[in-house]
Structure 1
Amino acid sequence: MTPVDAVLVDDHPVVRAGLRALLGASGAVRVVGEASSGEEALEVVARTGPQVVLMDLRLGAGMDGVATTSALRRRADPPYVLVLTTYDTDADILRAVESGAAGYLLKDTPPDQLVQAVVQAAAGETVLAPVVQQRLVDRLKNPTVELSARELEVLAKVADGLSNREVARALFISEATVKSHLVHVFGKLGVDSRTAAVAAAREAGLLP
């Protein structure tokens, strides 16, 4: 069987080294590149053309895993993106799925299952960790307030203490667009302030 070409995206060198060793030893996956940021990931993928990208959600400054996944999936010949993270909140899962991720696994996934997940993702299959599957099923059974991926991004920045102007700069959108998203968020959550919106979103499990 021809190995699956993969790129690793994680801002921790030790994590990337461990994944490279694990996947390489399997014989089923060939790591053709690594990146420590979203911006670097776009360059590496353009250069190496992998079938699968293993993507962490938190990448420090710059583009996060969701924004990077969205950008990769917009490519003419997009790779499949398999999220591999320590975060399993409803908000993170929803944002990743909406961005086009082919799967969502946690970093405590057994090695053999991780290798199999990469192979499955390369074949176009959706791969979800059991806890993630359960969370999605629970959301279907008990529908709650739904915020779009962009609304969640804006609210997450607000929760970090950023002003509207700072949120606009961080997400490369206009300040007017930020205000528009917040108006929609306020309406969906039934609140009338940024502080109340953040509190309500956390209570609903939409923010970590």
Structure 2
Amino acid sequence: MAKKRVTKEKSKKSSILVVDDHPIVRYGVARVISQDPELTVIGEAESPDEALVCLKKKDIDLAVVDISLEGVLDGLTLTKTIRNDYPNLPVLILSMHDEMTYAQKALSSGANGYIMKEESSEKLITAIKTLLKGDVYVSEPVKQQMINSFSKPKDNTDRSIIEVLSERECQVFALIGTGHTTRSIADKLHVSVKTVETHRSRIKFKLNISSTPELVLAAAAWAKDQRIAPVY
């Protein structure tokens, strides 16, 4: 394992796992990714079981997962398993299904991004690198749709986010939206990490948000709307 880390540091390439049950598609996606000097495909799988075996054996930085493995939405089930077993591993859902219908479902399952198979090679690489930086990737139309849904509180009223969240929750939400981690929020507000996690859970409940990627996306959109400067 130590040798693997040294090699990775030397090459500075991020290791990608491609999961798709169609060999031709899998080959094409892997080839596009491998042409980027910062990325390398070190694993391919055609089923959820193969993907999980690969994750156990190899040092993977990101998984690109087809939503329709074996003819059903098994890509979402696999994503839930990955999120449970590898909570910090980014997952990009690759799909031929309507993004306006399935993107939010994918993020709710724990994916960090969603991209259509019809998109260009350049956008695929952009999506992968966006996730590797710790951000969420969806198309602009989907982002706007999700922002609109997030802005409607749990109690189904027309109240704004500021009216729904407490003052402290608004502070935490703004800090999430400007790029702060849970630890940095705790340090900035002089509270414990557990307290911040509690605030995050309450925010998700009040805004009807089910996953961390959705929370980050909603917070970033709100912070931008409020003209709160991001952290770099």
TM-score bin, normalised by smaller chain: 0.5 to 0.7
- Quick one: distance in 1 between partners of 2:15 and 2:60? 5
Which shifted more, 38-47 or 56-65?
56-65
**Length-normalised TM-score, structure 2:** 0.56
Q: Which runs of 4+ in 1 moved over 6 A?
A: none
Indicate which of 32, 36, 53 corresponds to 2:46: 36
Alignment of 1:100-119 (within 5 A): 100-119=110-129
Secondary structure of 1:32's match? Answer: strand
| Counterpart for residue 55 of structure 1 | 65
Give the letter for the 1:36 counterpart.
Answer: E
In structure 2, stretches of 5+ residues that fail to align are 1-10, 157-232
Could you tell me whether the CA contact under 8 Å between 1:53 and 1:80 is conserved in 2? yes
- Quick one: distance in 2 between partners of 1:133 and 1:6? 25
Residues 126-179 of structure 1 show CA distances to partners (whole Å, capped at 9, x for unaligned) of 111233223323434689xx9xxxxxxxxxxxxxxxxxxxxxxxxxxxxxxxxx
- Quick one: distance in 1 between partners of 2:100 and 2:121? 24
Residues 70-99 of structure 1 show CA distances to partners (whole Å, capped at 9, x for unaligned) of 101112564210111111255522321111
- Quick one: distance in 1 between partners of 2:141 and 2:119? 11
Alignment of 1:13-162 (within 5 A): 13-60=23-70, 64-76=74-86, 78-140=88-150
Indicate which of 6, 14, 27 corresponds to 1:4: 14
Secondary structure of 2:63's match? Answer: strand
Could you tell me whether the CA contact under 8 Å between 2:103 and 2:138 is conserved in 1? no
Question: CA 1:61/1:129 → structure 2, altered by over 3 Å: closer, same or farther?
Answer: same
Higher RCO, 1 vs 2 (CA within 8 Å, ≥6 residues apart) = 1
Give the C-alpha shift of residue 100 in structure 1: 1.1
Could you tell me whether the CA contact under 8 Å between 1:10 and 1:59 is conserved in 2? yes
Which shifted more, 46-55 or 89-98?
89-98
Rg larger in structure = 2
Question: CA 1:94/1:121 → structure 2, altered by over 3 Å: closer, same or farther?
Answer: same
Give the letter for the 1:40 counterpart.
Answer: E
Secondary structure of 2:28's match? Answer: helix
Residues 172-191 of structure 1 show CA distances to partners (whole Å, capped at 9, x for unaligned) of xxxxxxxxxxxxxxxxxxxx
Could you tell me whether the CA contact under 8 Å between 1:16 and 1:34 is conserved in 2? yes
Q: Percent identity?
A: 27
Give the letter for the 2:70 counterpart.
Answer: G
Aligned-CA RMSD value? 2.5
Secondary structure of 1:49's match? Answer: coil
In structure 1, stretches of 5+ residues that fail to align are 147-208
Question: CA 1:94/1:48 → structure 2, altered by over 3 Å: closer, same or farther?
Answer: same
Question: CA 1:61/1:15 → structure 2, altered by over 3 Å: closer, same or farther?
Answer: closer
